[in-house]
Amino acid sequence: MYQKILLAVDLSSHAELLCQKAAEMAELHQASLSVISVVEPIVSDSAFDTMPPLPVDFDDLRLQSLRERLQQLGAKYGIRAEQRFLEIGVPKREICRKASDLVSDLIIVGSHGRHGVELLLGSTANAVLHHAQCDVLAVRIHK
């Protein structure tokens, strides 16, 4: 039986499916469920001036909207507020770090995320599978 499940979502359209599966797994195992979403910082390089500059508060607005989305999903699928994590960094690293911090015994990821379904397994999912210290469940995301 799993006791501490960590769900990783990139807040794309697949997030609902992943939340539903994770909530079912948690219920089945009587486990606690946490969710993490990792925001990758946008690095702008002034050497490339083909794109108009981003508004100064762009990152704040992006973070705010992602935070709201995560809160909505958490509330809908019964994930407690203190178990919803929005982190900034490299997704694979932050997911594995959070799983270690929480002593999770299962990480749930989607087989694919925002980057498309060309590969057998997405790059984040693949990296988590290789680096996690616990079991990893990849939920199949169809095209």
Site string for ligand AMP, 57-96 (x = CB under 6 A): ----------------------------------x---x-
Select 47 or 143, whichever has its Cβ closest to ligand AMP: 143
Could you say whether residue 10 binds ligand AMP (CB under 6 A)? yes
Site string for ligand AMP, 109-128 (x = CB under 6 A): xx-xx-x------xxxx---
- Residue 69, both tokens: 């989305």
- Could you tell me which residues are beta bridge partners of residue 110? 139
Apex 137 CA angle, 8 and 30, nearest 5: 85
Distance CA 6, CA 36 (A): 7
Region from 20-28, 43-51, 68-76, 104-112 binding ligand AMP, contact rule CB under 6 A: 104-112
Could you say whether residue 34 binds ligand AMP (CB under 6 A)? no
Buried residues in 108-124 as b, exposed as e (16+ CB within 10 A): bbbbbbeeebeeebbeb
- Residue 47, both tokens: 């050497």
Binding site for ligand AMP (CB under 6 A): 8-10, 14, 18, 36-38, 91, 95, 109-110, 112-113, 115, 122-125
